[in-house]
Amino acid sequence: MFGFFKSQKTSQTEDLPSLLKAAIEEVKHKWIHFDQTIHLKPEFRLANKIEMFADPVQSFLQSKYPMLLLEKPGKVIWLTIFTAIAESKTYPQELVNEAVAELTIKYGMTTT
């Protein structure tokens, strides 16, 4: 009646989409700042730049959004980063897709 017996887990699970959306938005702003601040030689691959960015983002997500990382944390981190970069429109989608494909192979990520 008043929600006294509503499971806390159900409430947290329902919040996951909004948490993910917030995390992507924050990571997107961090990527834009990173991209504008870190200037690399033109021959430096986007995949390498994303790898440089991923390490501090992983720590950020673990500290601010631990609920997102309960299942398959590595996959969630990478998908959050890839989505944020794609949404930032700092690079053409084709170039982002190539970097994502390269990193997906390198780190053995699957689509399942």
What is the model's pLDDT at position 8?
47
Domain count, the chain: 1
Is residue 51 assigned to a domain? yes
Q: Cα separation of 26 and 20, whole Å?
A: 10
Is residue 5 assigned to a domain? no
Q: Cα separation of 10 and 78, whole Å?
A: 25
Q: Is the pLDDT of residue 64 over 90?
A: yes
Q: Residues for the chain: how many in total?
A: 112
Is residue 111 assigned to a domain? no
Structural domain for 66, as ranges: 17-37+44-106
Is residue 49 assigned to a domain? yes
Q: Is the pLDDT of residue 107 over 70?
A: yes
Is residue 78 assigned to a domain? yes
Is residue 71 assigned to a domain? yes
Q: Cα separation of 57 and 73, whole Å?
A: 12
What is the model's pLDDT at position 87?
98
For residue 2, count other CB atoms closer than 10 A to its CB.
Answer: 5
Is residue 4 assigned to a domain? no
